[in-house]
Chains A and B, each alone.
Chain A
Amino acid sequence: MNKPIRTLSLFCGLLFLVLLGNATYLQYFRADSLDKSSLNRRVIEASFARERGAILVDGEPVARSVKSDDRYKWQRRYPAGALYAHETGWFSYFSQSGIEHAENSVLSGDDPRLFGARLADLIGSGQPKGGSVELTLNPAAQKAAYDGLQALGTGIQGSVVALEPATGRILAMVSLPSYDPNRLASHDLSKVSAADKQLEGDPAQPKLNRAIRTTLPPGSTFKLVTAAAAIENGLYDEDSQVPAGAGYKLPESTSIVHNSTGSACNPATITLKYALEWSCNTAFAAIADKLGNAKMKKMAENFGFNDTSLQDLTGQVRSRYPSMNRPQTALSGFGQADVAATPLQMAMVAAGIANHGVLMRPHLVDELRSPDFDSLGKTDSEVYKRAISSAVARQLTDMMVGVVEEGTANTAAIPGIRVAGKTGTAQTGRSDISNYAWFTSFAPADDPQVAVAVMIQNSQRSNGEISGGGLAGPIAKAVMEAVINK
């Protein structure tokens, strides 16, 4: 009977080899994909219970982990509450967003760049700690933007973005309504679910970061792009006479475009500078039609339309300037038709003009640091595109200063400082939705330190009371002052 017993022992050996092989496959080769599964509670819990690194603004934590006595050892806190909610995002048991999501590997300590620190933790038997993320935000500008929007009253929906033109650093990014991320980071998971349900169900969409995720017609602020295209293409300069008038009949159409700023635009021809200062729709429709869709589209794309440029926050949507027919192209000259932009995009237009025509890539993360505060890398300023020549930029700056000093944007004027700006009031084309107020500006005009875009999507006001200069201008002014007077 020994021969079959030997055969049997070989068979048993084979069974065990198969088990060993399968365990190896499972725990080594397949482990990565299993660990990444969204169904895997263990990994979620482990990261939820871990000491994450802080998110810092000007050295102060706007998100940090504090020790907790319950089953999760660390509690995520957002000391500033709703003020930075759309930048930090939330870190909940169920999901993450914003920087919490985008820089998760550094914050959680899993990043390969933290390998050395992790090794030290392993030897010292400590739990792995996460690195920290320093943002580019300017606390004063952020606060000014937040307070400015908030001051418009309850039910406000809007956004402010401020950039440093020379670097692309994002100095302020606010979206209202906002939410308190502390509610979503609670260890009481049923409360988190309830809070999340309430936020998701809110028609005002508080979780939506309007600065990068909402595109609306930019209205008259888009005239900066039309003017840039006109000058860049040698069609006009700031002092050239451009066709204007009380009405403009769209080509290949019977519709007639009117101006919203009274009789200032009524002469048959005015200077380009004057047309921008008084935001003459008829003039810019005529210019856009003369330039044609291709040239308009190219200039829009020079400023970042049809592209996403912010790398630090996920979920940025494209601003649109599509191919259009003639009448639509004419309408696009003053930011209507199918043109749609995010507040970030309009801030980029102002920043590109301010920075002598060179558009820097906007970024929110300034520096990543290890748990021991060693730098893991600073975000370098990076040229995104050359939008226009510096000569064109100079003329546009001059014209924008005129808008503030003599035209529609006087609400943003800062005493003693030359401010460049442009208002916008975009028609929604629907009776049930009120007009959008826009404002974009930079200052000081000679040495730009800050470029701002303000967008008011819904201010609970009637259309007669809504204008870019009236609602958005003062907010832009407050943000610019906060940066300049630091």
Chain B
Amino acid sequence: MMGRTPTGQPGFLGFVHRRRRGAELFLLILALAVGIGGYAAVGIGVDGAVPTNIVGYGGWLAVLIVACHVAVRIAAPYADPVLLPVVAALNGLGLAVIRRLDLAQIDQAAGTGKAPHVFANDQLVWMTIGVSLFIGTLVVLRDHRVLQRYTYTSGLAAIVLLLLPMFPFIGREVNGSRIWVHIGPMSIQPGEVAKVLLVVAVAGYLVVHRDALALAGRRFLFIDLPRGRDLGPILAMWLIGMGILVFQRDLGTSLLCFGLFLTMLYVATERPGWLFVGGLLFVAGAVGAYFVESHVHARVVTWLDPFGAWETGSQQVGNSLFGMSWGGLLGRGLGDGQPWRTSYAESDFIMSAIGEELGLTGVMAVLLMYGLIVERGLRAALVCRDGFGKLVATGLAVIFALQVFVVVGGVTDLIPLTGLTTPFLSYGGSSLVANWVIIALVLRISDQARRPVPDLSFEEPAEVETTQIVKAVRP
């Protein structure tokens, strides 16, 4: 069955190729309303007046978002129209909430002579850099399959980046985790960049080796177990993950890397046995870490009883819970809560600040937006025509899903807390820039996937696997 596109070209297998750029623009205007409206609401909530720089701020936000839109229109006209508006709304909301926390810091520092920690301006600069890289990625990378050539290069780069914080002089330990690198005045978390490279490397490796991984093996207890020699890469990833956990004391990144690798392996080989083996390995590692690493142990103890050691231990999770419960269904209103009571509210705990001031409603809205990003990423993977693109899109979507689950779950005491940023909301340059690049990659893949096939040759798409049936013909 053939569909029709607005351009008059016939679609493939009923797929209607529509650009939907107008819809994207409309959604972007709504997203802009979230960002600028949130900024204005923060001013009204805290100071009782719309901030004086609202025109300059709103204007700059609009410029960034329109630039993104124009870049997508030119460089990736068939890209998914929902992703960019959702991301723009999240980034705008994050900026507003960070600004709100800045105002609280300024308020608290007033009269004490101490300089307040302010983040919103830096975050706006990081957003500008992120948007520039987003546009750059879309413009420079016209076909994502090019990345497949850099499979091993990016793999190596990812490992180097992950190891960087371990080097003396440049590596820094912050709050118990050694995941920072300081170069001059700059401080970055190389792990945020590494995860993008890791997706590319793993996808490139798997798309080549998937058959060997998928087909060899034996069945045991209803589960197809992989061959012993194919366990090499998974063991290597496990060791990397555990290395991050042990040497950098970063449970979040460790979980993210390993989880990412496992799901991509599962998608590439279509064998749940990998999940089983990998899951066992991870549980073994995590249990070991619980007994060996005091850092991990403390997190688990706090998770089980966030109010247990109120005077002596960390009050962070408890304060986060108090904030969210106080927000209730509708929230205190921007500027009317006390989100500063939770330390690191502007980074790891920004969801708790949103829960306090925007209530369950705000939390649900944000979670649904993340759900949309994941869903749109996986959809791009589904319709993508090449295996590499499928794997990359899946990996990037899974990074989002895992990261949101781990950080929001930690903040709401569903699982032990792990230090990860909340994508697009949290303050943090490396994370914001990396996430903008991730979105650019997903848009690139979705553009390729949704674009009409140029030569109309009905070439077999990679995911349709036909079985040749050789009939025995009797003469």
Cβ contact within 8 Å between B390 and A35: no
Among A12, A32, A35, A71, the residue within 8 A (CB) of B397 is A12
A26 close to B307 (CB less than 8 A): no
Interface centre among A5, A31, A40 (most CB of B within 10 A): A5
State whether A22 touches B322 (Cβ < 8 A). no
Q: Does A383 contact B (CB under 8 A)?
A: no
Q: How far is the CB of A189 from chain B (nearest CB, A)?
A: 14
Cβ of A27 < 8 Å from any Cβ of B?
yes
Contact A37 B322 (CB under 8 A): yes
Q: Would you call A4 an interface residue if the criterion is a C-beta within 8 Å of the partner chain's C-beta atoms?
A: yes
Whole-angstrom CA separation of A24 from B359 in the bound complex? 10
CB of B401 within 8 Å of the partner chain:
yes
Main secondary structure of the interface of B (DSSP, over half): helix
Q: How far is the CA of A45 from the CA of B323 in the complex (A)?
A: 12
Contact B390 A39 (CB under 8 A): no
- The answer on a CB contact under 8 Å between B370 and A23 is no
Q: Does A42 contact B (CB under 8 A)?
A: yes
Determine the chain B residues whose CB is within 8 A of the CB of A39 once the complex forms. 307, 310, 318, 322
- 1/0 per residue, CB under 8 A from A, across B371-393: the answer is 10011001001100001001100
A27 adjacent to B322 (CB under 8 Å): no
B381 touches A5 (CB 8 A): yes
B324 touches A23 (CB 8 A): yes
In the complex, how many angstroms separate the beta carbon of B249 from the nearest chain A beta carbon? 25
The 8 A CB mask of A8-27 against B (1 = contact, 0 = none) is 11001101101110111011
In residues 416-453 of chain B, which contact A (Cβ within 8 Å)?
Answer: none
B93 to chain A, nearest CB (A): 16
* Residues of A with C-beta under 8 A to B325: 26-27, 30-32, 34-35
The answer on a CB contact under 8 Å between B270 and A4 is: yes
Do A27 and B337 touch (CB < 8 A)? no
Measured CB to CB, the closest approach of chain B to A381, in angstroms, equals: 41
Option from B307, B328, B341, B374 in Cβ contact (under 8 Å) with A27: B328
Inter-chain CA distance A27–B360, complex, in Å, is 6
Q: What separation, in Å, do the CA atoms of A164 and B53 have in the docked complex?
A: 65
B266 touches A8 (CB 8 A): yes
B338 at the A interface (CB under 8 A):
yes
Question: Quick check: which of B94-102, B223-231, B404-412 contacts chain A, the rest being far away?
Answer: B404-412
Whether A16 touches B367, Cβ cut-off 8 Å, given contacts A1-B390, A4-B267, is yes
A486 at the interface (CB under 8 A from B): no
**Contact status B412-A23, CB under 8 Å:** yes
Which single member of B263, B371, B387, B405 contacts A8 (CB below 8 Å)?
Answer: B263
Q: Tell me if B414 is interfacial: C-beta within 8 Å of chain A.
A: yes
* Interfacial residues of chain B within 292-324, with CB under 8 A of chain A in the complex: 307, 310, 318-319, 321-324
Q: Please, how many angstroms separate the alpha-carbon atoms of A4 and B397 in the complex?
A: 14
- How near does chain A come to B231, taking the closest CB pair, in angstroms? 19
B267 engages A20 (CB within 8 Å): no
Q: Are A19 and B378 closer than 8 Å at their CB atoms?
A: no
Q: Which of A2, A12, A23 contacts B360 (CB 8 A)?
A: A23
Q: In the complex, which residues of chain B have a beta carbon less than 8 angstroms from the beta carbon of A2? A: 382, 463
Q: Across the A-B interface, give the 8 residue pairs with the lowest CB-CB distance, nearest first.
A: A34-B325, A31-B325, A27-B360, A12-B401, A4-B267, A15-B405, A9-B378, A22-B414
24 A–B contacts from the bound complex (CB under 8 Å): A1-B270, A1-B462, A5-B381, A5-B394, A8-B266, A8-B267, A8-B394, A12-B401, A15-B404, A16-B401, A18-B409, A19-B412, A19-B414, A20-B364, A23-B324, A26-B324, A27-B324, A31-B328, A35-B322, A35-B326, A39-B310, A41-B341, A42-B337, A43-B326
If A15-B402, A71-B107 are given as contacts, then 12 extra A-B residue pairs at C-beta distance below 8 Å, sorted by A number, are: A16-B374, A22-B412, A23-B360, A23-B364, A23-B412, A26-B325, A31-B325, A31-B326, A39-B307, A42-B326, A42-B341, A42-B356
Contacts from B to A (Cβ < 8 Å) = 107, 263, 266-268, 270, 307, 310, 318-319, 321-329, 337-338, 341, 355-356, 359-360, 363-364, 367-368, 370-371, 374-375, 378, 381-382, 387, 390-391, 394, 397-398, 401-402, 404-405, 408-409, 412-414, 462-463
